[in-house]
Amino acid sequence: MASKHVIKLFNIISFFENDNNTIKKGENAIECNHVHQMQYDATLHTIRGDVQASMKNKNYKCEVILNKNGEIKEAKCSCPKGIKCHHIAALLLFGHYNLSVRSRNILHLMLNLAKRNYVL
């Protein structure tokens, strides 16, 4: 687990306006290994990733833009809902658990979860 998080849990909860159901679905997606890829661009404060659809063999593309304080400025997903969906919640929660402040010095952080390798 990261020592100092790039994505604060408070900011995730605030972004979803205390929608506990969506956050819970995001946690379930992580537990089911549905976050297949995550890319973090520390310069642009952007997180992109592929999150598998629930009960489908399909991935959705998610993108989250943070402001300089780490607050979620904008988020979108290629799923039918498109915004504030559990795919975005899963990506943000995964980032919370896996991106540390030390990672900011890395321009891109790629996680290949299918192989369980960290590719830098």
Determine the residue type at 30: I
pLDDT at residue 69 in the model: 86
pTM: 0.82
β partners of residue 90: none
Nearest to 6 by CA among 94, 76, 82, 84: 94
Q: Residue 2 has what pLDDT? A: 40
Q: Domain residues of the chain, as ranges?
A: 9-119
**pLDDT tens for each residue of 34-52:** 999 999 988 899 999 999 9
Query: Quick one: pLDDT band at residue 115, thresholds 50, 70, 90?
Result: very low
